[in-house]
């Protein structure tokens, strides 16, 4: 029996703890906090720790989405991971996520549509569920863009950050809710305006590609900006019309968080007031396929989404890809609280015949090394102070021994 709707029943996100500020970037390239903020709206972005990867970020977000939905991982039929920064060329990141979260019967695959990836994956999940093929699909957007960002290029290094967001889409026998309309497009004329030249089979890794820094993102920012403002608005409007709605019917616009100027331009073209647009680009930067699901999860968590609301998700990215989806929300936002019990520590099985080096970009290592050393000194000082207080309170008691805890991620 085919379901009558495919609804989002769980959501979750994860952003690494390391923060890279505009002030940090001022020390690396010829830029300034004022220049970055006025042109992009970005104040800071997150950077994955050495032990973190796209798989680990995606797995935390997925576990939180499952917790919010109160669904056992064993019930998941399919895992879709939208990413352009997989852990490896193969196996897929989705396969590794399946192992981490413990979904024994799920099919799993990656989807590459750059910043539009999660919207593409969401429409795919809808199709799988409404066809009756699967009932429960995990839709994840996850990126570790810091590892393909050139931190000597001031035009791109200010833009990107790391993170993951997830939604659980499930079949419902009740009518209404779920996806109401969508639009997916690709214009390959701009394919080389946002790209990574080397590392694929056209330009495999060689000393020459490394010397030319061909393994990092390259972007024609001016042309991409012009194209994206037009395409995001037209894609969103097409999806809204296909849903049988108008922009006035939309409670919240959840756009790809690439640039505040782009977001404001598109909102203006759709006639949406600022209070109907969710923005968090200032805190995360452009996290590509993770951008929309992180924003959605935050919006629900902060009470910006209620049952019955019509939402629009829209994104634009390399390819040029564009995706927009209109969805009617049905879940209880209070369920967001369940995600709090899911910590950021996950265990990703390492390969037996390969030892990874620290993948943190070398330009960023001094910032984080200094901060982590300072944090360790503060913790040591705090522990010593606590021990002194304990001895003062109970002079005859022995000083407790601190036992280190192993943390996996």
Both structure tokens of 382:
């705090």
Catalytic residue, chosen from 22, 256, 259, 280, is 256
Contacts of 142 (CB under 8 A, 6+ apart): 54, 55, 57, 58, 61, 81, 82, 83, 93, 163, 164, 165, 289, 290
- Sign for the pseudo-dihedral over CA of 190, 193, 194, 196: positive
Catalytic residue, chosen from 22, 259, 280, 286, is 286
Task: Tell me how far apart the alpha carbons of residues 260 and 265 are, in angstroms, rounded to a whole number.
Answer: 8
Angle between helix 291-301 and 117-130 (nearest 10): 80
Per the document, the length of the chain is: 409
Task: Tell me how far apart the alpha carbons of residues 96 and 117 are, in angstroms, rounded to a whole number.
Answer: 18
Per the annotation, the verdict on 157 as an active-site residue is no
Task: Tell me how far apart the alpha carbons of residues 178 and 243 are, in angstroms, rounded to a whole number.
Answer: 11
Task: Tell me how far apart the alpha carbons of residues 214 and 391 are, in angstroms, rounded to a whole number.
Answer: 59
The DSSP secondary structure of 4-47, one letter per residue, reads SEEEEEEEEEE--SEEEEHHHHHTTSS--HHHHHHHH---EEEE
Which residues partner with 336 through β-bridges? none
Closest by Cα among 53, 13, 46 to 139: 13
Are the beta carbons of 320 and 189 closer than 8 angstroms?
A: yes
Burial of 296 (0-12, 13-18, 19+ CB in 10 A): buried
CB atoms within 10 A of CB 5: 20
Catalytic residue, chosen from 115, 126, 157, 259, is 115
Backbone phi, psi, residue 114, to 5°: 55, -135
Per the annotation, the verdict on 126 as an active-site residue is no
How distant is the alpha carbon of residue 360 from its chain centre?
18
CB atoms within 10 A of CB 209: 15
| Catalytic positions, written as ranges | 115, 256, 286
């Amino acid at each position: 029996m085919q379901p009558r709707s495919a609804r989002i029943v769980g959501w979750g996100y994860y952003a690494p703890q390391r923060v890279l500020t505009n002030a940090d970037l001022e020390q690396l390239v010829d830029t300034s906090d004022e220049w970055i903020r006025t042109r992009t709206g970005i104040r800071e972005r997150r950077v994955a720790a050495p032990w973190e990867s796209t798989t680990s970020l995606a797995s935390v977000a997925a576990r939180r989405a499952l917790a919010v939905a109160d669904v056992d991982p064993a019930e998941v039929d399919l895992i879709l991971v939208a990413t352009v920064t997989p852990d490896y060329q193969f196996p897929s990141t989705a396969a590794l996520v399946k192992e981490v979260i413990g979904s024994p019967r799920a099919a799993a695959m990656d989807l590459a549509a750059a910043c539009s990836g999660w919207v593409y994956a969401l429409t795919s999940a809808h199709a799988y569920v409404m066809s009756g093929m699967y009932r429960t699909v995990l839709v994840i957007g996850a990126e570790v863009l810091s590892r393909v960002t050139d931190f000597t290029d001031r035009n791109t290094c200010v833009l990107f950050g790391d993170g993951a967001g997830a939604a659980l889409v499930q079949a419902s026998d009740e009518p209404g809710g779920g996806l109401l309309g969508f639009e997916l497009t690709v214009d390959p004329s701009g394919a080389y305006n946002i790209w990574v030249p080397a590392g694929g089979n056209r330009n495999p890794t060689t000393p020459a590609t490394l010397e030319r820094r061909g393994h990092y993102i390259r972007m024609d920012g001016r042309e991409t900006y012009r194209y994206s403002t037009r395409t995001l608005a037209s894609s969103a409007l097409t999806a809204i019309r296909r849903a049988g709605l108008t922009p006035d019917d939309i409670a919240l616009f959840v756009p790809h968080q690439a640039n505040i100027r782009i977001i404001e331009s598109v909102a203006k073209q759709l006639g949406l007031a600022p209070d109907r647009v969710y923005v968090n680009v200032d805190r995360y930067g452009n996290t590509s396929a993770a951008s929309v699901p992180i924003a959605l999860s935050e919006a629900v968590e902060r009470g910006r989404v209620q049952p019955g609301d019509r939402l629009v998700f829209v994104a634009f990215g390399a390819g040029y890809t564009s995706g927009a989806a209109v969805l009617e929300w049905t879940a209880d936002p209070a369920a967001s609280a369940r995600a709090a019990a899911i910590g950021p520590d996950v265990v990703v099985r390492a390969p037996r015949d390969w030892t990874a080096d620290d993948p943190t970009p070398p330009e960023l290592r001094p910032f984080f090394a200094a901060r982590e050393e300072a944090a360790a000194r503060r913790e040591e000082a705090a522990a010593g102070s606590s021990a002194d207080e304990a001895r003062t309170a109970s002079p005859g008691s022995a000083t407790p021994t601190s036992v280190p805890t192993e943390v996996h991620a």
